[in-house]
Structure 1
Amino acid sequence: MFQHLPAVVVLLTVLLQCGTAFAVGRARKLYEVKAPATTGHPLFERAFRVQMNTLEATLMFLPSLWLAASYGAPLWAGIAGLVWVLGRVWYATAYLREPAKREGGFIVSAIGLLATLAIGAIGLVKVLLPG
């Protein structure tokens, strides 16, 4: 059962990406920002930055999650991954409401990222070092 938790986290990450893309599309329509423009109304720009920041963070997170699940412990990788997802949701919702209040979500997601990276790195070192 626990070996599947990282896959659940990947699914949640994809859904998060879909949610941020939907928010950008909604803001684009609501504030009449025509494609391909990426600037315009400040609330559109917030939604766009949330999507881009989440995408950038995901590019670091998914490989770290994979390393942690493959070389570390799937349960702990999954738990750390859930922390990352929850932090990113907090970050996104806070940024959309008030950008100055996004820090808490960023910190929580950074903890999740660093945990997956540490779990994966330690597990990989254990495999590579002769025992």
Structure 2
Amino acid sequence: MHLHAALITTLAVLLNILAIYFVGRARGKYQIKAPATAGHPDFERVFRAHQNTLEQTVLFLPVLWLASSYANETTAMGLGYAWLVGRTWYLFGYMQEAGKRSMGFLIGALAAVGLLGMAMVGIVMRMLG
């Protein structure tokens, strides 16, 4: 039934909502009026952390569901949760200091690449089998 994929998807949406909240809070704190996206370095880091998380979510969700559907659901679940941990680490690290985002990025990227590989192999095997 893919309950873990559904939960991971919901948590990914919540992570993006949290990032939106942080951008709004930073706009007020640093008095950055919309639609401006620049002005204070601390605001810009929060804004980029949100944008990067949103960009990665668009890539992550399809491969999560494809890997969960066409490959090993348990492994896809583990990689999905790893992506969430990595992206959360990335978001909070980047908001503090740009250099603190690297490990979170690496964890999330490896999880996403793993899901992509699983999805591709699973789909091809179904097509051949």
> For the superposition of Structure 1 and Structure 2, which TM-score range results when normalised by the shorter chain?
over 0.9
What is aligned with 2:41? 42
Give the match's secondary structure for 1:46: helix
2:105 is matched by which residue type in structure 1?
F
1:109 is matched by which residue type in structure 2?
G
What is aligned with 1:125? 124
1:54 is matched by which residue type in structure 2?
T
What is aligned with 1:26? 25
CA-to-partner distance for each residue in 1:18-41, whole Å, 9 max, x for gaps?
010000000001110001111111
CA-to-partner distance for each residue in 1:24-59, whole Å, 9 max, x for gaps?
000001110001111111111111000100011111
| Residue 115 of structure 1, CA deviation | 1.3
1:33 is matched by which residue type in structure 2?
I
Aligned sequence identity (%)? 45
What is aligned with 1:64? 63
2:10 is matched by which residue type in structure 1?
L
| Residue 100 of structure 1, CA deviation | 1.2
TM-score by length of 1: 0.94
| Residue 73 of structure 1, CA deviation | 2.0
Contact 1:4–1:74 (Cα < 8 Å) also in 2:
no
- Give the unaligned 5+ runs of structure 1: none
1:70 is matched by which residue type in structure 2?
S
Q: Which runs of 4+ in 1 moved over 6 A?
A: none
Question: How many residues end up aligned between the 2 structures?
Answer: 129
- Give the unaligned 5+ runs of structure 2: none
What is aligned with 1:114? 113
Query: 2 CA distance for matches of 1:120 and 1:76?
Result: 11
What is aligned with 1:77? 76
Give the match's secondary structure for 1:17: helix
Cα RMSD, aligned residues only: 1.1
